[in-house]
Structure 1
Amino acid sequence: MLDTEMLGARIAKARIAKGLTEQQLAHRLGVKVAAVEKWESGETDPRANRLDQLAGMLGVPLMWLIGGGDAPPDVESPTFTETHGVEEKLLRAEELVKQLSMLLVDLGRDVRRLQRNIDFDKSS
């Protein structure tokens, strides 16, 4: 018998590492989303033929999916370096948003000033 809770956690971990939603995985396997949800929650086990399909689709060894052990490199948690790089990109994006906001405010002022000048010239 499989350790259902651990199997479900490994399915979820591999699915997330592959960048798939539960809906996408269900569609690719030809099963209902509820089936994937039950597998991942540990409520039920996939059938043997589905385990083989899951392993292939998720790009993990069947033996890891069934029995655990060391996770394949693609399923490992992101390293500090990877998360730090993402955080740097996020900070840079936030800074760019601030700069663009200030630029939009300046442009708005310039447009209003130019419009007033045009309106003044027309009335003169």
Structure 2
Amino acid sequence: MSADTSAEWFDPDTTTFGDRLAGARELAGMTQEELAKRLGVKEKTMDDWENDVRDPRAMRLSMLAGLLNVSLLWLLTGEGDGPGDPGVATSYVRGGIQLMEEIREISVQMKLNAERLVRVEQELNELLRADDAGAA
């Protein structure tokens, strides 16, 4: 968003989800890389969302709204609580609901990673046993 267009970046009739996401992110003072890292997604995923190539899942939508200090309704439709006046960085303060949702998401990711670790460890042990049997 250039300085020339910052005052008129949001038109509820023409902006897309990606436009609102990119605008709110910039007003929050974050780069794509920073927001992607906070959400636990790749920068390419963030770029796809902002360019309306793909849409985030419900949990990520909720996290985005919390991180950008906008309502979920505004992010999806352009109606409701937006990011405030252009040029003024929004707060990163999130409510308890958003924090609990993020904790749940992290918990799910940790469980999946723990299960994956067990599978990989078992596969490695089987491979090592096969190598030991072949060497004997």
Calculate the TM-score normalised by the size of structure 1.
Answer: 0.55
1:24 corresponds to which residue?
Answer: 34
Q: Is the 8 A contact 2:71 2:81 kept in 1?
A: no
Alignment partner, residue 114 of structure 1? none
2:52 alignment counterpart: 42
Deviations 1:62-114 (A, max 9, x none): 1100111366252x3349xxxxxxxxxxxxxxxxxxxxxxxxxxxxxxxxxxx
1:54 aligned residue: 64
Match of 2:86 among 68, 74, 77: 77
Structure 2 residue aligned with 1:87 = none
Count of paired positions: 74
Taking the TM superposition and a 5 Å limit, the aligned residue runs for 1:107-122 are: none
Q: Which residue of 1 aligns with 2:95?
A: none
Question: Taking every aligned residue pair, what percent have the same amino acid on both sides?
Answer: 43
Q: Which amino acid in 2 is paired with 1:48?
A: A
Higher helix share: 1
**How do residues 81-120 of structure 1 correspond to structure 2 at under 5 angstroms?**
none
Structure 2: stretches of 5+ with no match in the other structure: 1-14, 89-136
Question: Structure 1: which 4+ aligned runs deviate by more than 3 Å?
Answer: none
Give unmatched runs, 5+ long, in structure 1: 80-124
CA–CA distance in structure 1, aligned partners of residues 83 and 59 of structure 2: 24
C-alpha separation in 1, matches of 2:81 and 2:38: 23
Q: 2:25 aligns with which of 15, 26, 48?
A: 15
How big is the shift at 1:20? 0.1
- Indicate the structure (1 or 2) with the bigger Cα radius of gyration: 1
Is the aligned partner of 1:68 residue 2:72? no
Q: What is the deviation of 1:55?
A: 0.1
Q: For residues 41 and 73 of structure 1, what CA distance do their matches in structure 2 show? A: 19
Distance in 2 of aligned mates of 1:44 and 1:60? 20
Per-residue CA deviation, residues 3-50 of structure 1 (Å, 9 max, x unaligned), is xx7101010011001000000000000000000000000101011110
Counterpart amino acid of residue 9 in structure 1:
D
